[in-house]
Chain A
């Protein structure tokens, strides 16, 4: 194993050490903590780009998958990290969202409580670990790492609203974790393995008597992930928790629901998309609905219900915070629907569009979460708010905290705010030319054109997504009009440190538009390799250990 192979574990190791290092500094040395955090995020971004380049490989359909055998035991006996295109995309997306959120936090939020930077890094470690792991129980461990950090972060800044929202968030997620454990242990009891690739091999040859138990385990596991993804009717905890969370925390939380979506996508593709898409479609058409069909129908129904619930929430919301939290639901609902449709045989083009939409909507939602505060700020109110939360937390304010508005204020505030807000609206509502539109067009065109999905269902999804986009436009435009056109008060004072991360995120969306074809093609290749799980499964099981590579036998 050459040194550069070890780069694969860097997304877990970097935030782990950075987080541990920030714990050594006193709470007053925030500058040092911030420096460590920023360095870690920048390193993650660079590693993410490098790993993504590595998975591009020869570009012939499958793409390259790399493995990292922890402890040098070959799969399925040891624990394995797996990096394929989907994992690399998610790693890069996590780094892309984390860096602006941390810069935004530097404008003031990181002073509002203890251990912000350590928790932030541990959250990133859990996120990256969950994306990389190829083992169900390790997935549980990384989930718990990220959840434990998120419990701390959701309470960051304290205050009754956060504690109340946090209480529900923690209770629901603890219960979901127990379901996760039940599912994992049932699957182990039936199949005798926890390795995802090994599972993909074993499921098709499972004896008939064991199938009901396995389905029960998979169902419990799915339930746990649907809770994390905030899917209706399991996602009522989400809006209040996300709304109450501090702005930079909420921006990173936009990524957390995507972990649930990612795992559902990964596991359902590995264990269910066994036959070719065509076979499965004929299986459904002839009335003999396979378990894959049932799972797909449940996912489609739950996803569409989530979109409806999210859209109603968007229309009913009065504030931008609640609205954005409901937009998170719309986004994850759309993705869950698309996962279900892909299982029904929607094809790589549709799934590729969905992945493109995943990236675009996550970035836009994160930007919107960061915009809430500057947009709803009246002169001086933020200082009062910060002082209040600091007071509630009972921390002493050192001198540099006395003026939270210190820093460079930007000129033409309303213009800049309006432009970036408009860009976010266009992405989330799916208006051309920004990525939201490209993603939706790719999804919907493939959906109608493929013919694998029943026409009524296909058109139903099309209508729902278009209506959801329209409702999003109405809701966000209303907020925009209130803030930018109908406001009478003084122009809010916005720090450059607060607006720069948002502009960076919007620029990222711009790059996705300009490089639209390349990105979309990459996503379609990703989807193609997801739909042929044998690449992943065979690759993991044949990954050689270092001992085997050195000629000894």
Chain B
């Protein structure tokens, strides 16, 4: 499971970084999306990988914490997903405005040879 997850994070971030460095705004936003997926998976994995372990403990009595998953990274990843989703949506709007005003989808607002 560790290998699969780390491969997924690695592939996502590698493609994300490559796309982020491309000159077209659509590539940049796709890259940012992929990167944020990679980061979210990474945050999740920081709570250690467990299978079938609930994150919430029952009330009262003594419980063995090792049989439960760490709930904090799950809460963090939820916040991170919401925030990155919202900011990416906002970036999309700016991207569209830039396309409309400059007539090109280059990140600098003009083609490289101009």
Contact = CB atoms under 8 A, between A and B. Distances in A.
A408 interface: no
Interface string B86-114: 11101100110110011000011100000
A170 interface: yes
A175 B20 contact: yes
B79 A141 contact: yes
B102 A185 contact: no
27 contacts: A144-B87, A147-B87, A148-B90, A160-B101, A160-B102, A163-B98, A166-B94, A167-B98, A168-B107, A171-B32, A171-B91, A174-B87, A174-B91, A177-B87, A178-B32, A178-B35, A178-B36, A178-B39, A178-B84, A181-B39, A181-B80, A182-B39, A185-B42, A185-B46, A185-B73, A188-B46, A189-B46
A160 B109 contact: yes
B79 A167 contact: no
A272 to B, nearest CB: 23
Given A141-B79, A163-B101, A171 B107 contact: yes
Interface string A178-197: 10011011101100001000
Q: Tell me the dominant secondary structure on chain B's binding face.
A: helix
B86 A148 contact: yes
B102 to A, nearest CB: 6
Nearest to B40: A181
Contact of B109 (A148, A164, A184, A185): A164
A19 B62 CA distance: 46
Contacts of A164: 98, 102, 108-109
Interface string A136-163: 0100110010011001100100111001
Q: Tell me the dominant secondary structure on chain A's binding face.
A: helix
A158 B101 CA distance: 10
Given A148-B87, A167-B25, A186 B46 contact: yes
Contacts of A175: 20, 32, 35
Interface in A215-261: none
Task: Determine the interface band of chain B, counting residues with CB < 8 A from chain A.
Answer: 20 to 34
A51 B20 CA distance: 43
Nearest to A187: B46
Given A137-B76, A164-B108, A167-B109, A174 B46 contact: no
Contacts of A184: 76
Contact of B94 (A141, A147, A148, A170): A170
Nearest to B76: A137
A182 B90 contact: no
A188 B74 CA distance: 12
Interface in A112-156: 137, 140-141, 144, 147-148, 151-152, 155
A167 B83 contact: no
Interface string A59-71: 0000000000000
B109 A144 contact: no
B83 A141 contact: yes
Contact of A167 (B20, B39, B84, B94): B94
B35 A185 contact: no
Interface residues of A, number: 31
B43 interface: yes
Interface string B10-30: 000000000010000100100
Given A188-B72, A189-B46, A171 B102 contact: no
Interface in A383-428: none
Contacts of A144: 83, 87
B83 A185 contact: no
Contact of B90 (A168, A170, A188): A170
B86 A185 contact: no
A188 B43 CA distance: 9
B95 A151 contact: no
Nearest to B43: A185
Contacts of B42: 182, 185
Contacts of B46: 185-186, 188-189
B20 A151 contact: no
A227 to B, nearest CB: 14
A181 B76 CA distance: 9
A170 B91 contact: yes
Nearest to B102: A160
Contacts of B28: 171
The 8 closest A-B pairs by CB, nearest first: A189-B46, A185-B43, A164-B109, A185-B46, A160-B101, A163-B98, A144-B83, A178-B39
A163 B76 contact: no
B40 to A, nearest CB: 8
B97 A163 contact: yes
Given A158-B97, A174-B84, A175-B32, 4 more contacts: A144-B87, A151-B94, A170-B87, A188-B76
B87 A185 contact: no
Interface centre among B32, B35, B83 (most CB of A within 10 A): B83
Contacts of B107: 167-168, 171
B20 A163 contact: no
Contact of B76 (A178, A185, A186): A185
Contacts of B83: 141, 144, 177
